[in-house]
Structure 1
Amino acid sequence: MSSGTSYGGGGFGGSILGDITGVQQHAQHHSSGHGDESLFGNALAMLQAKESNLANEDVDEEHMVKAHKSYFGSGGEGGNATSGGIGAASAMQALKMFNGGTSEGGESSQQEFIGMAMGQAAKLFEQQQSAGNVAEGESKQSAVQQAGEAALKMYMKSEMGNNSSGGGGLMSLASKFM
């Protein structure tokens, strides 16, 4: 039985997202650059509205690892690609990239990580859509939103276990998965 971990109670002293312009710029940088600015802006607005609730949600690590293996290992789920799966896989891919040294670290590391996940989701959704693998009713907006939520929850979990700012907690979280 999983008890889940709560991150409420003001442990972060404000928004993790901070100035969403930074997150949006990172997302755009890591996407395929097909005019997704409004897509990322909409997802970030929804993410800001849900941020305090997401702090109380647990991270489904097993689902994220399986999704990553499915999308980045064998190339897709053959007609069954979902926004949730794409989002989870993209957050894991961002974690892998973040820990692979493509991050600059520092104060904006959480913005970079979340933006990276959202950009990866936009790119992965396009790849799956062009291959005809996206399940009916799924949307790029939803995939980007799911990736942002997963990345934010991963970041909050890593920071609660690490009690430091920057990307140190993400490094220790990655060691569990990679």
Structure 2
Amino acid sequence: MENITYLMVQHQQLMGQRILLRPVSLQDANDMFEYAADKETTRFLFESHKNLEATKKTIAEFFVKDPMGKYAIILKENNKMIGTIDLRVDANHKKAELGYILNKQFWGNGYVTEAASLLIELGFQTLGLERIYAMYDIKNRASGRVMERLGMTSEGILRKNRLVKGQFSDDECYAILREEYADLNNKA
């Protein structure tokens, strides 16, 4: 297997039917602030941003400082950044964790499913991973439905898995294995 870092650098941009995945930049701050300041969008993930400066700092310290596997979800039709998605690769164990957030104005349109499908394809077909998993707060069932549409299988609930906004979150873990991905694509 080629060096995963090198392969990730080669695939910093991925093109979908309606979206483009590319690295996040400070130019995305206004679009990101639009959803990062929204309590409903951030409810299960992090404290809502209080101002644009907080969003700019997050972009600098999280996305730009270590951009590998972190993507802005861009609508091709108008170049608007509507969310982020990331694939956190553990090369030693040939696995990765998938995570995402989407501006609530764009929920229910299949954009996360499209973006995640691009990253799952990258993970299995290019990076040679064996397993890709994702977790969601069990109170956020819509996120679980995205994972099901991706062909992932529930593996159980991790009780009090994360501390979010001072409250413990029970997370359901979903995963898809290389052979399951191959079976799904052979049926398509």
Question: Please, what TM-score do these two structures have when normalized by structure 2?
Answer: 0.27
Larger RCO (CA under 8 A, 6+ residues apart): 1
TM-score (norm 1): 0.28
- Richer in helix (by share): 1
Q: Which has the higher strand share?
A: 2
Larger radius of gyration: 2
